[in-house]
Every structure is written in structure tokens, then in C-alpha cells.
Amino acid sequence: MNSIEEQLWNYIDGSCTLAEQQAISGLIAQDEAWRIKYNELLKLNEEFSTMDLDEPSMAFTYNVMETIRTENAMKPLKATINKRIIWGIAAFFIVTIAALVIFALSTINWSVPAGNTSFDLNIKMPEQLDSNHVKSFFSGGVVKGFLFFDLVMGLFLLDAYLRRKQSAKQH
């Protein structure tokens, strides 16, 4: 059970339930001790509200603005992403998928020989996309070059990440 003082503070702050509020109002009206304590706390509450705020130096705002003058505020991610980039990526995928679908449909042999009940889907790949032809692109040299590029990119990204982390620590 809360003390009288605690209950009265809750009543003054309005942080008690409606039932508690009604009960405390009744006690204040009927009980002398409660009324005296309530008036005392009410006076104290008013006094606490009169506390002064300290004033910083005249150059305070100037000093803050001088420090951040050359910086840009961090923009939210949703604002920094240009919508045209998103639409560009979407357009690229739509065009690619559409091209593939058109290509696939155009190479299908739609004619069904007479007497054949089953539908035989016959898609002929162009010679440039022949599996042996494609494999030739992934020769040892190309794979090594690709891995080397990955390694350089990985180191570059790691360096950028560590720099960011260090800079965040300093701030």
C-alpha cells in the first residue's frame, strides 16, 4: 500500500486510476490529515514549477553552428535513395524478363505432328548460347580475374567499414 504522500502525488499528477482519484477526493474532503497534506504538496508542486532554467553563454548557438557548418545532417535512408534509381532497376528487370519470355515463345515449335497426342515442346537454343560455348567464358583466367576483383572489392569495403566505425567512435 502506498503512503498518503505517494497517493497524493499520484492524485496531483493525475497518474492514478479513476477509482483511486474518487477515493482520494473523498479522503481530502473528509479527513483533516489528508487535507493538510494535500495542501502542503500542492504548494510544493507549485513551487517546484517555478524553478529557473540556466542560460548558456551568448556564443552557444554560434559555437554549435560553427562546428557543424561544414557538415551535412545525416539524411534518412528513404530520402537519400533516388526514386529514379529504383524505377531504373525495375525497368531493367522488366525489360530483361520480357525479352526472355518473347525469345522463349518465339523459339517454341508450336506445330503438333498428326497422330501425336502428346505435346512435344521443342525449344532450340541459339548457337551462341550453346553449353560448350558458354563454358568457354569460364576458363581458368576469367575465373581467377573474377576472384581477384572480388578480393579487391572485399578489402575496399572492409576498409570503408573500419573507417566508419573509427569515425563513429571518435564522435
Partner 1 sequence: MQSKLSDIELIEQTLAGNQQAYADLVKRHQRFVFTLAMRFTKGREDAEEVAQDCFIKAYRNLGSFQQQSKFSTWLYSIVYTTAMTFLRKKRVDTSSIDDDESYIQIENKPSAYDTHNIENKSRSYYLNQAIEQLLPDDATIITMFYKGEQSLEEIAQALNMEANTVKVKLFRARQRLKEKLERNLKHEVKELI
Contacting positions for partner 1 (CB under 8 A)? 5-6, 9-10, 13, 15, 44, 47-57, 60-61, 63-65, 67-69, 71-77, 79, 171
Smaller CB separation from partner 1, 48 or 110? 48
* Amino acid code (one letter) for 119: F
Smaller CB separation from partner 1, 59 or 129? 59
- In angstroms, give the least distance from the CB of 129 to partner 1: 46
Smaller CB separation from partner 1, 3 or 132? 3
CA–CA gap between residue 16 and residue 25 (Å, rounded): 12
SS3 75: coil
Q: Where do we find the cell 494535500? A: 38
- In angstroms, give the least distance from the CB of 14 to partner 1: 10
- In angstroms, give the least distance from the CB of 125 to partner 1: 49
Sign of CA dihedral 67, 68, 70, 71: positive
CA–CA gap between residue 166 and residue 171 (Å, rounded): 9
